[in-house]
Amino acid sequence: MIILGSKSPRRKQLLIESGFEFIVKEFEVDETFPEHLKKQEVPLFLSRKKAEAYDESLNDVVLICADTIVCVDDQILNKPTDFKDAFQMLKLLSGRMHEVYTGITLRRDDEYKSFYEKTEVFFKDLTNDEIEQYIKHFSPYDKAGSYGIQEWIGYIGVEKIVGCYYNVMGMPVSRLYSELLDFHPKITKSVIFT
């Protein structure tokens, strides 16, 4: 059995569409991190922090916790706080490449395994009107970097990506599947397409 320790509807959707049988457990975790961490270390730190915060017995159950960040140069873009913040983030992403890192931690009792995936995303130049329309008609406030690649802004704004598309949505499913098999080889017989 698998537990997805995440509030993200996109992670839930991706696991469902990938054939996993799992349950979702939501719990609060302080998402602050040490400032000295390198950008790829931040989602690893936070996914591990989330996994360690889960305080119920796991027995032979595998817990999956994840965290996704968006980076421009060395600046980390978190979830926007308001319209102005979202607009500024998307303006910063406009016409350039940024990196998306997702860190994942697998936990079974006191055994942990963490890894990350990186994807480069190239945005075209976005007009102020395009940015405003996206923020008004979609919900960027629960998304790192203020956008969802699977939404309108992704269709009209993303010119290309290098790496895993699903990583940008918050869960690099192919990598997760491989890591799960390595972490708990019997898991596919009991949780995929049951």
Orientation angle between helical segments 83-93 and 128-137, nearest 10 degrees = 130
Determine the Cα–Cα distance for residues 164 and 115; give it in Å rounded to an integer. 14
Residue 67 bears catalytic tag: yes
How many other CB atoms sit within 10 Å of the CB of residue 79?
A: 16
Select which of 67, 74, 82, 142 is catalytic: 67
E strands in the chain? 2-4, 22-24, 62-72, 75-77, 97-108, 111-123, 158-162
The catalytic residue positions are: 67
